[in-house]
């Protein structure tokens, strides 16, 4: 693996300011003057955070790439540490606009309006951590993720997510993936409680249902709907509503 260049060589303008936080303020042309912007103690040229006035938002993470000149952002909610926004750009001024909007409590859509490089993950904010809304948000994130994939088996995986979401018994559970296997929980993150089988989308266009991770010991099927129907029959009969995984 090639050794990354010295950050001062890749980002000489940032190095001249001494830190990414200071460079970000300079690019913001005053709009971040009253906003808390902090750089990493260990890598001040590569990492910075911008806090938010909203308690249900973690500080926006800003990271400089190590092998090429580019910055990425990630904005999370604090209870599950799941991203609400992310994105990458080679324009530090755009990062500053996104940071200001995140800090000020602008809606997620308005943040993207302020900085078009921002990518909305599909999740929405749930300030009161209502478990039903967190579950709905995670389903929305999973559906968007599946729709945006560019892998060869994207259509198969997308069909699986949509078929599972269309089934009320599965839609009521909290969805998560591991190695692209769709699984279900009776609790939200950060502490999941796995229930029922896992569903997989095969590269050959078939769909598997299994009791173990990435196995299809309950069958492989030609359609996502068939696989989902088998998964539903494997669910316990005494399931309760999703609760917070604290």
Please say whether the beta carbons of 131 and 244 come within 8 A.
yes
| Domain co-membership, 94 together with 168 | no
Domain boundary among 100, 120, 140: 120
In a domain? residue 116: yes
In a domain? residue 2: no
174 closest CA partner among 159, 160, 188, 190: 188
In a domain? residue 239: yes
Q: What confidence category does residue 214 fall into, taking pLDDT thresholds of 50, 70 and 90?
A: low
Residues 6+ apart with CB under 8 A from 25: 32, 33, 37, 96
Domain boundary among 73, 97, 120: 120
196 closest CA partner among 181, 161, 204: 181
Least confident stretch, 40-49, 204-213, 237-246:
204-213
> How many CA atoms are closer than 13 Å to the CA of 201, on its beta-carbon side?
22
In a domain? residue 125: no
pLDDT higher than 70, residue 116: yes
| Domain co-membership, 136 together with 233 | yes
- Residue 3 to residues 7, 48, 66, 73, 88, Cα–Cα distance (Å): 12, 22, 9, 23, 22
Domain boundary among 120, 149, 181: 120
Question: Domain range for residue 139?
Answer: 131-245
| Domain co-membership, 104 together with 148 | no
| Domain co-membership, 150 together with 116 | no
Q: What confidence category does residue 2 fall into, taking pLDDT thresholds of 50, 70 and 90?
A: confident
| Domain co-membership, 160 together with 95 | no
In a domain? residue 126: no
Mean pLDDT (whole number) for 77-101: 97
| Domain co-membership, 114 together with 17 | yes
| Domain co-membership, 145 together with 192 | yes
Count of domains for the chain: 2
| Domain co-membership, 189 together with 107 | no
Mean pLDDT (whole number) for 136-165: 94
| Domain co-membership, 108 together with 135 | no
Distance CA 69, CA 7 (A): 9
Q: What confidence category does residue 209 fall into, taking pLDDT thresholds of 50, 70 and 90?
A: very high
| Domain co-membership, 143 together with 106 | no
Q: Give the tokens for residue 139.
A: 């389903």
| Domain co-membership, 55 together with 140 | no
């Amino acid at each position: 693996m090639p050794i990354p260049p010295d950050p001062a060589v890749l980002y000489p303008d940032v190095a001249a300011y001494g830190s990414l936080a200071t460079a970000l303020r300079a690019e913001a042309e005053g709009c971040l003057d009253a906003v808390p912007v902090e750089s990493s103690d260990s890598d001040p040229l590569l990492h910075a955070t911008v806090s938010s006035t909203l308690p249900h938002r973690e500080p926006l993470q800003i990271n400089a790439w190590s092998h090429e000149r580019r910055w990425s952002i990630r904005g999370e909610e604090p209870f599950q540490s799941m991203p609400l926004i992310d994105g990458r750009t080679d324009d530090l001024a755009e990062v500053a606009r996104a940071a200001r909007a995140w800090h000020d409590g602008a809606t997620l859509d308005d943040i993207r309006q302020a900085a078009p490089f921002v990518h909305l993950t599909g999740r929405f904010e749930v300030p009161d951590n209502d478990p039903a809304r967190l579950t709905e948000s995670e389903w929305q994130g999973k559906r968007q993720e599946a729709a945006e994939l560019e892998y060869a088996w994207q259509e198969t995986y997308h069909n699986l997510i949509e078929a599972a979401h269309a089934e009320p018994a599965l839609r009521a559970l909290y969805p998560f993936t591991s190695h692209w296997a769709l699984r279900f929980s009776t609790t939200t993150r950060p502490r999941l409680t796995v229930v029922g089988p896992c569903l997989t989308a095969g590269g050959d266009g078939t769909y598997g249902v299994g009791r173990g991770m990435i196995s299809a010991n309950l069958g492989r099927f030609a359609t996502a709907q068939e696989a989902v129907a088998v998964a539903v029959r494997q669910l316990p009969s005494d399931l309760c509503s999703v609760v917070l995984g604290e």
